[in-house]
Amino acid sequence: MAAIESVLNEARVFEPSAEQMARASIGGMDAYRALVDEAARDYEGFWSRLAKQHLSWHKPFTRGLDESNAPFYTWFADGQLNASYNCLDRHVEAGLGERTAIIFERDDGEVQRVSYRELLARVCRLANALRARGVRKGDRVVIYMPMSVEGVVAMQACARIGATHSVVFGGFSSKSLNERLIDAQAVAVITADEQVRGGKRLPLKSIVDEALGMGGTEAVAQVIVYQRTGGDVTWQAGRDVWLHDVVADQADTAEPEWVDAEHPLFILYTSGSTGKPKGVQHSTAGYLLWAELTMRWTFDLRPESDVFWCTADIGWITGHTYICYGPTAAGGTQVMFEGVPTYPNAGRFWEMIQRHQVTVFYTAPTAIRSLIKAADADEAIHPRRYDLSSLRILGTVGEPINPEAWIWYHEQVGGGRCPVVDTFWQTETGGHMITPLPGATPLVPGSCTLPLPGIMAAVVDETGQDVPNGQGGILVVKRPWPAMLRTVWGNPERYKSGYFPAELGGNLYLAGDGAVRNDKTGYFTIMGRIDDVLNVSGHRMGTMEIESALVAHELVAEAAVVGRPDETTGEAIVAFVVLKRSRPEGAEAKQIADQLRAWVGKEIGPIAKPRDIRFGDNLPKTRSGKIMRRLLRGLAKGEQVTQDTSTLENPAILDQLGEAI
């Protein structure tokens, strides 16, 4: 920890320019501190003022925060509104219907522009079609779609009729999809025939068919299919319908379903430290307020002139907040991208920024690190070869960014003039929590700096007591905020024990990350997960989920999964496996390892495939049978085992497990 503190103390500081301070939504540290002080003086009044200022209410609320049933907090509960109305109708009614809402670029480079008026009409047609097919307020609809305008339309259409959507990332397997369909008790699925990534067609409809064929999904009455490629699909009459057919005769207008502020807008499943994914449930008003507000604060969005581009997928929370809801609630223009950053070459991002005159660019450190390597290998696709002068703000998301990548991003992509907002947040938080503000916060590479106004973040010890700055501890939030998750779908006890644990007093939100605050500036640096959750390319994967998949294979008797640092993906998955037969070696070991990787990819999705697989006669366990994961983490990193191994049942096993395949 001392080494990290030294780096932060000695780090170069990038001060905001006078021009940035003059134009920013929160300009200068004095303006930032004024908002922080307002929240401290009148917490409920602070959030209520913002909710009245930034959202359009059908029925105004009379009360802000209700803590009477803690930790099941509510905000603005007696008010009514509609998320789709706030994202679309109010801009059209304000005379902004011809403003471009989405610039969509397909994998092959074809570009489609959709205005707010056109987007509203498309959402209304699908909303009417869903209503006509029996989908009602409170029903759950699973969306398993490629990156597309249709994906956003599907989400907004559900919100318009008060149906709760649950988007499943298109890279997840049929089994993962089946688990989510069952848990949500979905009544409908919206999907596509195929998706296209990097010039390759990848199935979606066939995976939906497999998921529905696994059982437990009898509530699904219909599957609506977007025809993306025209690829061959199997068809079940009476259940499967084409998207273009169901919207063909529908009206371009649809009355919004006015819902209570606490109405579940969506469920998004995220990996936990147990095998079963947990359905993070977000409310309508609190979530939407933070999505809109952070667009203005963190990205300093100027809807009349900015072109915003978040490179995430709608299957993750970043795509929910900073593609579907945030930019549209703010009335902005955004770029959406179907492809991958390295196709047809690794200059694709820079070429798109140049072509679409992107002003605010938001991507993951994993992508930045991979593009650094590509640029070093091929001068022709280096960012300096492109006109990136339109950029004024850069952002990172998904994991902490290392200082070296931050500096490259700032200098080579931003030309040394663009603030880099290193955003810390989670699926559960709904939006940014700790992040620099362009025009206010002095920037330090490698630090997400300070909490946003109204976010009472702190670092505590194992008993919930504050620790001094400069000392590492557990990241918590001391007071509920409007955008926080409301519960784990169908499992309120898991919500209470997982996010408000009794050992911390039962009233602190546990982020699940370790953190340290700089003893001079108070800046936060996130140290990584404290539970058994890995962060791979900005995507959270539960170790238990991967272990369960491995053990389900007929060859595997036992498995343990840990992470090791990786300069490109942040963390790499390392699996230690005991087979039901003798330990394989050489070519046979490689063959079985490849087989197990493919199996995990099928069970969970390609992103969960272990980078390394190591075989042993058994796993390192204490004499009481507990797996010594601290030893496995050291082995995964290639470290020499120096810890006490006297309690191990079989110390010799460590030599076997040190061999990566």
More confident residue, 294 or 9: 294
- The domain of 606 spans 537-657
645 occurs within a structural domain = yes
The arithmetic mean of pLDDT across residues 86-101, rounded, is 98
Q: How far are the Cα atoms of 182, 219, 271, 276 from residue 176, in angstroms, in the given order?
A: 10, 17, 11, 10
Is it the case that residue 399 has pLDDT exceeding 60? yes
More confident residue, 400 or 616: 616
| Sheet strands (E) in 121-204 | 140-144, 164-167, 188-192, 194-197, 200-203
643 occurs within a structural domain = yes
Q: What is the pLDDT of residue 538?
A: 76
- pLDDT digits 0-9 by tens, 524-552: 988 777 777 788 887 777 777 788 789 88
Which among 465, 462, 457, 413 is positioned nearest to 435, based on CA atoms?
457
DSSP codes, 209-241:
HHHHHTSS-TT--EEEEE-SS-------TTTEE
> Where is average pLDDT lowest: 322-326, 366-370, 639-643?
639-643
Q: How far are the Cα atoms of 146, 188, 301, 330, 624 from residue 84, in angstroms, in the given order?
A: 21, 19, 20, 12, 55
Contact 169, 316 (CB under 8 A): yes
Is it the case that residue 5 has pLDDT exceeding 50? no
Contact 204, 234 (CB under 8 A): no
**How many Å is the Cα radius of gyration of the chain?**
24
Would you call the peptide bond into 256 cis, given omega within 30 degrees of 0 as the criterion? Answer: no
Which residues contribute to the annotated binding site for Mg(2+)? 551, 553, 556
Confidence of residue 2 (pLDDT cuts 50, 70, 90): very low
CA angle 122, 124, 126 (to 5 degrees): 70
- Both tokens assigned to 269: 């499943």
The arithmetic mean of pLDDT across residues 419-448, rounded, is 96
The arithmetic mean of pLDDT across residues 364-375, rounded, is 88
Contact 454, 468 (CB under 8 A): no
Confidence of residue 370 (pLDDT cuts 50, 70, 90): confident
- pLDDT digits 0-9 by tens, 186-199: 999 999 999 999 99
Which residues partner with 269 through β-bridges?
279
The arithmetic mean of pLDDT across residues 379-394, rounded, is 97
Is it the case that residue 373 has pLDDT exceeding 90? no
Contact 77, 61 (CB under 8 A): yes
Q: What is the pLDDT of residue 559?
A: 86
564 occurs within a structural domain = yes
194 occurs within a structural domain = no
- pLDDT digits 0-9 by tens, 98-157: 999 999 999 999 999 999 999 999 999 999 999 999 999 999 999 999 999 999 999 999
630 occurs within a structural domain = yes
Which among 2, 11, 33, 13 is positioned nearest to 453, based on CA atoms?
33
Question: Residues 518-539, buried b or exposed e (16+ Cβ, 10 A)?
Answer: beebebbbbbbbbebbbbbbbb
226 occurs within a structural domain = no
Q: In this structure, which amino acid lies at residue 368? A: I
Confidence of residue 646 (pLDDT cuts 50, 70, 90): very low
Q: What is the pLDDT of residue 11?
A: 61
End-to-end CA distance of the chain: 32
More confident residue, 638 or 331: 331
Q: What is the pLDDT of residue 650?
A: 64
CA–CA gap between residue 20 and residue 16 (Å, rounded): 6
Is it the case that residue 7 has pLDDT exceeding 50? no
> Where is average pLDDT lowest: 10-14, 178-182, 234-238?
10-14
Which residues contribute to the annotated binding site for ATP? 398-400, 422-427, 513, 529, 540
- Both tokens assigned to 416: 């040394």
Give the sign of the dihedral formed by CA 346, CA 352, CA 354, CA 358: negative
Is it the case that residue 9 has pLDDT exceeding 50? no
206 occurs within a structural domain = no
Which among 9, 23, 313 is positioned nearest to 155, based on CA atoms?
313
More confident residue, 621 or 364: 364
Confidence of residue 625 (pLDDT cuts 50, 70, 90): low
Q: How many domains does the chain have?
A: 1
Report the residue count for the chain.
661
Q: What percent of the chain has pLDDT over 90?
A: 75
Is it the case that residue 275 has pLDDT exceeding 70? no
**Pairing mode of beta strands 164-167, 140-144:** parallel
Q: What is the pLDDT of residue 622?
A: 58
Contact 88, 108 (CB under 8 A): no
CA–CA gap between residue 109 and residue 252 (Å, rounded): 29
638 occurs within a structural domain = yes
- pLDDT digits 0-9 by tens, 129-143: 999 999 999 999 999
Report the predicted TM-score, pTM, of the whole model to 2 decimal places: 0.86
**Strand (E) or helix (H) holding 558:** strand 556-566
Which among 422, 412, 418 is positioned nearest to 373, based on CA atoms?
412
Give the sign of the dihedral formed by CA 476, CA 480, CA 481, CA 487: positive
Which residues contribute to the annotated binding site for CoA? 197-200, 318, 537
Q: What is the pLDDT of residue 645?
A: 56
The enclosing domain of 574 has a CATH number of: 3.30.300.30
The arithmetic mean of pLDDT across residues 217-235, rounded, is 97
Which residues contribute to the annotated binding site? 197-200, 318, 398-400, 422-427, 513, 529, 537, 540, 551, 553, 556
DSSP H helical ranges for 481-561? 492-499, 543-551
The arithmetic mean of pLDDT across residues 207-213, rounded, is 97
